[in-house]
Structure 1
């Protein structure tokens, strides 16, 4: 069944592509699950944000239009009422989930490459573009969601594009990853680096995230590796995870922190057990670079977005369902174009 560019594949394997006029018309750059797991937001190079029903055919609304350049990052508010989208047009736009209308604009002076809500939904962190010769660097900014304005001076330290920002679960720390190959942990209240910069990647850091308990950080890099770090002292935990044959573009923890999902230029989504450092599953449905991955809040689904213009939601086994010894059966549940 194909409705509005969404092919429902419950109970079957996806075997053919279907491209309709509806849906993204260019690369999908970012995906995010809603807090209740019922919907997925996707941002695209086509300047739009879409909201999809995670478990049935039609999109939730018409595309959210307002950006004048590519959407690089999307994030759901933990309250479930807003989506934030960061764009190359130097704005973060806030969208009301219930009405589908824009409810605010945060204006910057550089492209917004990454956005993330704080756990209490009161703040948005943003990472921006830039180069080493830029005297202002590539700052990270905190924004007051209610007042729709910057809350403090920018956090400065990175010398190249900041492609990923993520809050700890208690909201007191922020982790950032940059094309300068470094990862920094910031004190949210003071705006200073408290751990790092973490050094080890040999190419730009494209994605990073705190574990649910805040004790670890996972990072993915253009050097094709995934690394696990101690969030308190910045030490590398174990050996780098190797397996991707192209740039690693996105990483995220499962809700209970047992697994890491990753995606990259090799067109795959991979699942890793952090207890062993071993890959336990691999998905090959996409036909181009996979730019973004996200776990559902229940941990049973992974959404991914790709240069092939598709968003795919696949069912995976739960946080405790993979044995240490190998991979498990899985099923693609939804395919959106």
Structure 2
């Protein structure tokens, strides 16, 4: 910058000085539109923020508190159910379609998005025990304790016409207990009181395969969703059987101490499945090493009735006779969350939605309830700032989850008094059993080997 001055002698003098001017780029602080937020300047230098870690910890603590305060998992109940729902079947391709079977032989066709009962009909004379879909052929199969297997046309646009009468009916020799369809082929399984049958929809007069194991009844049989020819079967003699649909004999058989009520294959790992047991636990098995369970999930205080994997394969949900629904991570043996309702009784079946965002549960109080898969999720459309804030809070909770205060808040589960008392009693019982085993070894000359916990629940392995 140049300054000019004149003296008394009218001589012109030029003075040149360098002046530092404070200047900023307007793009750094000005908004593009009036709807944008104001840009805040920030110095990223760590020396200028000596308390940054402390502030971050406080933000993580607040995020943990808010996640518990905003946890509202219950969405609603499907109105119109007047009987216990014994079967929940979700369509494998249509997100908002579900078909339920009741204890009085009715089949209900539901629109989940609108929570509307589209169609209800008397399909059987007794309790419906199985429903399965096959979208490629637009078919639905139902079975009941009246020893009938029926085939129906699945037409979403003309539901009334499609459900007027079944396409075909098969009279079985015994009462069927379960039903499951092949993922890609037009084949389905029917398990009953005497055997397990494999049918082809093009030849319903004669089964393709029949598996029998003495006179033991079969109460659950499912195809593997990845290795689609592998079948897992549960029998009343507390056995788990692996079979191949292309041959008539079983591959492996494991007998447990107590009965498994249901099981679910992991959709991402074809050799992993988890079973719900009568001894209040869930057992994850690896078919490559089938003798002992790979992991044991503890937490329920009564028999576990059903279990289901999320489509991502990283989470699973279980329902129990104790009236609670528990959510688990596949790599953690403790439940990450517990759902319960004031009037919810024994939970009979649970299912994940296809987008792994919701959970369906059926209980003995004649209700089908809809829950969030993550209790603190925000429903509806989120703007970018909301998504960014939620992602930041989740990252902080994960980063500081091992800090004592944050861990205490995140692991806190609010249970009904009855469940809390029963869980404390179970802990006392397990501690007493361990103490007794230790005292026996200390005060006697017992040479029996120490059996690990996961090896105590298997009786025998048959190949």
Q: State the TM-score, normalized to the length of structure 1.
A: 0.81
1:232 paired with 2:288, answer yes
2:172 to 108, 112, 124: 108
- Equivalent in the alignment of 1:70: 127
- Equivalent in the alignment of 2:58: none
Shift of 1:226: 0.8
1:248 to 304, 307, 320: 304
Which 5+ residue runs of structure 2 have no aligned equivalent? 1-71, 156-161, 376-393, 402-406, 414-463
Which 5+ residue runs of structure 1 have no aligned equivalent? 1-11, 130-137, 330-337
Give the SS at the match of 1:298: coil
Shift of 1:108: 0.9
Given that 1:294 and 1:303 are in contact with CA atoms closer than 8 Å, whether structure 2 keeps it comes out as yes
Q: Could you report, residue by residue, the CA deviation over 1:178-207 in whole angstroms, capped at 9, with x for unpaired residues?
A: 221111111111032112x1233x222210
2:320 to 235, 244, 264: 264
1:43 to 101, 106, 120: 101
Given that 1:28 and 1:43 are in contact with CA atoms closer than 8 Å, whether structure 2 keeps it comes out as yes
2:183 to 119, 142, 157: 119
C-alpha separation in 2, matches of 1:158 and 1:248: 26
1:207 to 237, 262, 279: 262
Shift of 1:146: 2.8
Q: Which runs of 4+ in 1 moved over 4 A?
A: 12-19, 321-329
C-alpha separation in 2, matches of 1:296 and 1:268: 19
Q: Which moved more, 1:309-318 or 1:267-276?
A: 309-318
- Equivalent in the alignment of 2:436: none
Q: Which moved more, 1:169-178 or 1:108-117?
A: 169-178
Shift of 1:47: 0.7
Shift of 1:173: 0.6
How many pairs align? 303
Give the SS at the match of 1:154: strand
Determine which structure has greater relative contact order: mean sequence separation of CA pairs < 8 Å that are 6+ residues apart, divided by chain length: 1
Structure 1 residues 80 and 24, CA gap change in structure 2 (3 angstroms): farther
Given that 1:28 and 1:308 are in contact with CA atoms closer than 8 Å, whether structure 2 keeps it comes out as no
1:309 paired with 2:371, answer no
2:274 to 218, 235, 259: 218
Shift of 1:128: 0.6
> Higher helix proportion, which one?
2
1:28 to 65, 85, 89: 85
C-alpha separation in 1, matches of 2:74 and 2:123: 33
Given that 2:298 and 2:333 are in contact with CA atoms closer than 8 Å, whether structure 1 keeps it comes out as no
C-alpha separation in 1, matches of 2:272 and 2:219: 19
Structure 1 residues 272 and 14, CA gap change in structure 2 (3 angstroms): closer
C-alpha separation in 2, matches of 1:294 and 1:203: 24
- Equivalent in the alignment of 1:133: none
Structure 1 residues 15 and 77, CA gap change in structure 2 (3 angstroms): closer
1:144 paired with 2:188, answer no
C-alpha separation in 2, matches of 1:41 and 1:48: 10
C-alpha separation in 2, matches of 1:244 and 1:158: 33
1:162 paired with 2:218, answer yes
Aligned-pair Cα RMSD in Å: 2.8
C-alpha separation in 2, matches of 1:117 and 1:24: 26
1:179 paired with 2:274, answer no
Structure 1 residues 84 and 234, CA gap change in structure 2 (3 angstroms): same
Shift of 1:239: 3.9
C-alpha separation in 1, matches of 2:214 and 2:359: 30
Q: Could you report, residue by residue, the CA deviation over 1:2-60 in whole angstroms, capped at 9, with x for unpaired residues?
A: xxxxxxxxxx87699897xxx33322111021112211211111111111111113112
C-alpha separation in 2, matches of 1:237 and 1:106: 38
Shift of 1:158: 6.2
C-alpha separation in 2, matches of 1:208 and 1:228: 9
Given that 2:277 and 2:305 are in contact with CA atoms closer than 8 Å, whether structure 1 keeps it comes out as yes
> Higher strand proportion, which one?
1
C-alpha separation in 2, matches of 1:279 and 1:68: 39
Structure 1 residues 161 and 248, CA gap change in structure 2 (3 angstroms): farther
Shift of 1:160: 3.2
C-alpha separation in 1, matches of 2:412 and 2:169: 44
C-alpha separation in 1, matches of 2:206 and 2:289: 29
